[in-house]
Structure 1
């Protein structure tokens, strides 16, 4: 389980370290940095796929994602000054197993190069314990060089790293620690869900070729396959319970015809089940959330952005129960505007992190110095 998330220099997240729990609710007013925090988590996940540099390039390059205010924020009305420290976007997390730090900076490239907007990976570290420090490091990458700590101490690897290569994904040296490989697989398994499409052309509404499917895709196109996989694994009761709480007397069934899967919903009073194409937007969105949050084999982390969007108020309590049930199987982070959903989740034991911004960049509201998790960013 992740125990802390640290972000520095990414949009409004000038210097944020926040604690994470089995079920964490991220909230705050508009403009306080909730979406930036969600994006930063996704950027960390891209590192597990070796795509962090490409992800920043798609956002417009490093200059587009950097904090736009003064290097040392001083409140409303403060004017920017010339930077004295290296330009950096730094991301990291600690967990009860291994932690990771990623430092991205300006490219050292010929200005005539077509890749001048690509950031470079300046530093990567894999560590044990609550934060990175010399005694807890097991992998340390500085620019092109990588070293790993073995039984006999540090070993420098004979594999220079390119500016866009990740030590988690691209190391081929046989002395690289298996822990870093396991960490890469774990990060790559994080799942993010943000505003499912439910319009008439939504992939979730169409019949699809079905195979055993571990986790729901971002577009929900494999909804029926994930539901059938969960049922086949003997975990369908949790899905049935979630549907019953939201739509009393209803149940989902999967129709299969020559390998084509169709999700159908039986409702009381109707003579036939309704296909996914016939469901209301809110009903389909709730079923997509059920499949995302209660798969047969839960991922190590589920991050859900504004799951209450387009749901009727009568579905907020069932949604809270669904998120709570998911957190019993895996770690869940919920980003939400809904005060009702926050209250429902708080009553179920969720920890709430409220963000605020008053000219200093994003901060954790009422976070006292001793409540901020310990963290250390490595120098370059």
Structure 2
């Protein structure tokens, strides 16, 4: 995986468990969150789900969480949530900021700031959607549209491509234990791992096969081959061990081995998402 950082800093205020004082967090290419239950790890990741939803439907991650009022900090009356990020663009860093609140159980975006340009409600086509999603209100846009069009395009692409892996199912009945379908994409890896075989097969074309095997042998030292077999409209993963003449199919592998294959497919990706969020709760 390339050593790069999409977001250098994020500031959260009145958002979930982040209070009115706000909290600025500086990010590195790799960030590991460790903390006790209830310390706000999942809330931190939720902020990036909000960013991912901005170019499409901002309510998409909010509805399952109980509605907009559940995303506003409970420590003050009529709070306004603020998310602000400093993006590490190839040309120069720039800021993006969005503030929103709940109004009669509806999301109301109060302000967006792209670089130094403030975008009030008069510039949006909908109070629930960002200008990144819908563009500018043509009646009010004027020169402002030209000024931030390039930034809008960049933000839309980068936010949309943020990847999330939170829905871990490794036991009996999981998609990682079953033969997988051949009509799924080779990239990116689906959150449920339903295309893991195709992703690994594609990696074997893009990377030296020995590189993949060496990484796999770090946790499976007896492995001699990692094979992907496509037949009968299905994709199946097999491991060949030194002491066995017949390969072992994925359903017979341990949960930990399949978990490692999943992470390996993510982290060896030569064309990764601009930002990957991997949440691993206690798995057993």
Give the TM-score range, shorter chain. 0.7 to 0.9
What is residue 101 of structure 2 aligned with on the other side? 105
Counterpart mapping for 1:132-281 below 5 A? 137=116, 139-145=117-123, 160-171=124-135, 175=146, 177-210=149-182, 212-234=185-207, 236-250=209-223, 251-257=225-231, 259-281=233-255
- In 2, the alpha carbon distance for the partners of 1:190 and 1:238 equals 26
* 8 Å Cα contact 1:265/1:274 also seen in 2: yes
Is residue 2:50 matched to residue 1:43?
A: yes
- In 2, the alpha carbon distance for the partners of 1:182 and 1:257 equals 40
- In 1, the alpha carbon distance for the partners of 2:238 and 2:106 equals 46
Residue 256 of structure 1 and its aligned partner are, at CA, apart by 1.2
* 8 Å Cα contact 1:191/1:301 also seen in 2: yes
**Number of residue pairs matched?**
263
- In 2, the alpha carbon distance for the partners of 1:123 and 1:252 equals 51
TM-score, normalised to structure 1, is 0.64
- In 1, the alpha carbon distance for the partners of 2:235 and 2:87 equals 38
Residue 57 of structure 1 and its aligned partner are, at CA, apart by 2.7
> Does 220-229 or 242-251 show the bigger shift?
242-251
TM-score, normalised to structure 2, is 0.84
Change (3 A) 1:286 1:12: same
Residue 66 of structure 1 and its aligned partner are, at CA, apart by 2.1
- In 1, the alpha carbon distance for the partners of 2:244 and 2:48 equals 43
Structure showing greater relative contact order (alpha-carbon pairs closer than 8 Å, 6 or more residues apart): 1
Q: C-alpha root-mean-square deviation of aligned residues, in Å?
A: 2.2
- In 1, the alpha carbon distance for the partners of 2:188 and 2:210 equals 17
> Does 220-229 or 30-39 show the bigger shift?
30-39
- In 1, the alpha carbon distance for the partners of 2:108 and 2:64 equals 14
- In 1, the alpha carbon distance for the partners of 2:23 and 2:29 equals 19
Alignment deviations for residues 37-95 of structure 1 (CA, whole Å, 9 cap, x no partner) = 112222222223x22223223211222222222x3xxxxxxxxxxx3xx5212212112
Alignment deviations for residues 98-130 of structure 1 (CA, whole Å, 9 cap, x no partner) = 4321211123xxxxxxxx422111111222xxx
- In 1, the alpha carbon distance for the partners of 2:167 and 2:127 equals 34
What is residue 267 of structure 2 aligned with on the other side? 293
* 8 Å Cα contact 2:35/2:41 also seen in 1: yes
**2:73 aligns with one of 46, 67, 76:** 67
Is residue 2:95 matched to residue 1:96?
A: no
* 8 Å Cα contact 1:281/1:310 also seen in 2: no
Unaligned 5+ residue runs, structure 1? 72-82, 108-115, 128-136, 146-159, 312-380
Residue 288 of structure 1 and its aligned partner are, at CA, apart by 1.0
Change (3 A) 1:60 1:294: same
Secondary structure in 2 matching 1:52: coil
- In 1, the alpha carbon distance for the partners of 2:85 and 2:211 equals 31
Secondary structure in 2 matching 1:229: helix
Unaligned 5+ residue runs, structure 2? 139-144
* 8 Å Cα contact 1:196/1:288 also seen in 2: no
Secondary structure in 2 matching 1:177: helix
- In 2, the alpha carbon distance for the partners of 1:105 and 1:214 equals 36
* 8 Å Cα contact 2:83/2:97 also seen in 1: yes
Residue 28 of structure 1 and its aligned partner are, at CA, apart by 2.1
